[in-house]
Structure 1
Amino acid sequence: MAVRIPAAFAANMLEGATLQGIDPAGLLRRAGLPPQPTDLAAPDFVRLVRTVTLTMDDELGGLQHRPQRIGITAIMAGALSHAETLGEAYGRAVQFMDLMDNSFRYGFRESGSSVMFELTRIPGREVLNVMAIEMILVLVTRMLSWMAGNRGATNAAWFDYPAPGHVAAYRGMFARAPMQFGQSSSGIAIPAGLMKLPIVRSEAQAINYARRTPLDAFLPVDAAVGLSLEVAVAVENVLTVERRLADMAEVCSALGIAQHTLRRRLKKEGVDYSDIRKQVRRDLAVRLLTTSDASVEGIAERAGFSEASAFIRAFRSWTGVTPRAYRLSEL
């Protein structure tokens, strides 16, 4: 089934132009869209974003305190392509965006097994609606993952606003990661192991990618693809049925592949077997917390933990809060 972009994204994209006196009906007409679009096909949404940003000469569509002129993201992408590793590229991105001195201050820090890419509002600066934050988090993290030849992975995501009406779309945008709303900042936690990946795209490739934005920005992307996805499915099958985590030998037997081959191919995809097992277990626990009335003890057992206390410790390490606190934040 073709991916549909919620109509809320289009409404939020048009708000900045409307406040600056630009007729939204004219922008929709120029993009080849009806006067009041509902959910949009991805190519239609991309045309709308490009129409708005080019008309305004503002890559941020009037959503932030001051315009970000067309071409700035391409300049940044070219500069980041000269980083040695993904971690270095993130550090450079934060410095570059802080120099623009717009609506946010940016941060990049390590925390346990994750690194945090974070943005905090500057008091008194305009942030028109939630799309200002959505665009930055999604566009920057996906572009940098692409530069490293990786599809990316997200351990957690958090936002400094209440859950929006289109929150269902966030599951695809943020790779099914645990999410929290109403926080003091917004950001994404990324597996620290990915930061060692080398940047493999050239300056020309990076600039061309930035010019294509937002072609892939708001489409669902699973962290697990290719062999990673096959392994995740095999692990999930055992966990769901037998309530335990499968070891590598079992998965290799199910997939008909040698263990050394599995390790080598997963390494090429930028992941390892233990990370996949952790993510499958985490995804199951989050899904049960948000879609069922099962007790914390019951969820711990179904997620393959021998004791609820071990589950609570693990969940806190994933999200920073206890399972009960996370469940309450989702209500």
Structure 2
Amino acid sequence: MRERTIASHFVCAALRGGVRQGLDGAALLRQAGIQPALLDEPRARIAPEQFARLMQLLWERLDDEYLGLARLRSRRGTFAMMCHAIIHCRTLDKALSRGALFYGLFPEAPRIRLEREGDWARLSVDDASLWDPDHFLLESLLVIWHRLGSWLIGQRIRLEQARFAYAAPAHAGEYALLFPGPRRFDADANCLLFHARYLTMPLLQDERTLKHFLERSPADLLARPDGGDSLTGQIRRLLGRDCRHWPDLDGIARQLHLSPPTLRRHLREEGSSFQELKDQLRCDLAIYQLGRDELSIQAIAEQLGFSEPSAFHRAFKKWTGLTPGAYRAQEH
């Protein structure tokens, strides 16, 4: 769903390396269409298009696809060259292995490894060489390689588990959009686990499709939140965009062939609840509409199922720290 928004945490984390290198963070945000004042509110969220623009600006200004978060730069075009090096491989196994070897040619680059563990494949990133206090580059690399692999074979690679060698952060609830599936923190490595059958699949892309893919990647790979096969992603799709006619939890459970208690338990395991999911979806839809000037705030409130604009104002301020009017004003 295009309306998925991105938490301000990731904006601050993306900027950190550039600011460390001497860039003017506030100026970059304005160029990306993001008002710097939004980041003073930790609950604020931005549109994916804004985040993609910010990433492109950072890469251009720094000439570094590692965003100033590694010991050495990865000059712009390195990712594209790696993609050209792997596009003629016959299978995903060969493509990912060659891609890992490609980056292994660069001294002090984060090491990427693809290993088999019985029926499972493990794609890991070693962040020992990074200056990455928010783990932003590490997580970005995992996301990019997962989505690149999925694009190469023309289907989403289902993650069996995402593991992180650090404690769960305060924004852990956001990870369902980045790593759909079970997640484990305080693990022994930073890696993604998926079924090895994907490795034998042939590549369905070629140089022609790669040219189009590289017009917006890897920024688009990062800026496009994806619920995948996670339960929260499935529920969001079932709820849809018409908040006035949303089914209740029992109705969603029936559609998923689960009992309501089982659904609640699975949501707790994913770090969420049915009410939080509805609030997040309403918030995302509200931000999407507020950024487009097509509807009045009252019309947006009605579309989101609020009986009174004042109730929408209170809810939106609770979600983002700003009123709908203040948020719309910040966007312009």
Map 1:122-161; keep pairs closer than 5 Å. 122=128, 125-161=130-166
User: How far apart in 1 are the matches of 2:73 and 2:98?
Assistant: 21
2:28 — aligned with what?
27
Query: Which of 51, 75, 98 is the equivalent residue of 2:81?
Result: 75
1:267 — aligned with what?
none
User: How far apart in 1 are the matches of 2:253 and 2:35?
Assistant: 45
Tell me, which stretches of 5 or more residues in structure 1 are unaligned?
A: 244-280, 293-331
User: How far apart in 2 are the matches of 1:291 and 1:47?
Assistant: 30
2:16 — aligned with what?
15
2:115 alignment partner AA: R
1:6 — aligned with what?
7
1:95 — aligned with what?
101
User: How far apart in 2 are the matches of 1:128 and 1:291?
Assistant: 23
**In the TM superposition, what is the alpha-carbon distance from 1:119 to its structure 2 partner?**
1.3
Query: Across the two proteins, how many residue pairs are aligned to each other?
Result: 248
Classify 1:43/1:106 alpha carbon distance in 2 versus 1 (closer, same or farther; 3 Å).
same
**In the TM superposition, what is the alpha-carbon distance from 1:242 to its structure 2 partner?**
11
**In the TM superposition, what is the alpha-carbon distance from 1:192 to its structure 2 partner?**
1.4
Query: Which of 99, 109, 113 is the equivalent residue of 1:107?
Result: 113
2:258 — aligned with what?
240
Q: Deviations over 1:84-128 (max 9, x none)?
A: 011111111211122223342221111233200001233x65334
Classify 1:102/1:285 alpha carbon distance in 2 versus 1 (closer, same or farther; 3 Å).
farther
TM-score (normalised: structure 1): 0.67
What RMSD, in angstroms, separates the aligned Cα atoms of the two structures?
3.0
**What fraction of aligned residue pairs are identical, expressed as a percent?**
25
Classify 1:4/1:235 alpha carbon distance in 2 versus 1 (closer, same or farther; 3 Å).
closer
Classify 1:284/1:114 alpha carbon distance in 2 versus 1 (closer, same or farther; 3 Å).
farther
**In the TM superposition, what is the alpha-carbon distance from 1:188 to its structure 2 partner?**
0.4
Tell me, which stretches of 5 or more residues in structure 2 are unaligned?
A: 39-43, 239-251, 273-332
Higher relative contact order (CA 8 A, sep 6+): 2
Classify 1:24/1:196 alpha carbon distance in 2 versus 1 (closer, same or farther; 3 Å).
same
User: How far apart in 1 are the matches of 2:50 and 2:179?
Assistant: 21
Classify 1:173/1:125 alpha carbon distance in 2 versus 1 (closer, same or farther; 3 Å).
closer
2:192 alignment partner AA: I
User: How far apart in 1 are the matches of 2:268 and 2:131?
Assistant: 38
TM-score (normalised: structure 2): 0.67
1:190 — aligned with what?
194
2:214 — aligned with what?
210
Q: Deviations over 1:250-278 (max 9, x none)?
A: xxxxxxxxxxxxxxxxxxxxxxxxxxxxx
Classify 1:168/1:241 alpha carbon distance in 2 versus 1 (closer, same or farther; 3 Å).
closer
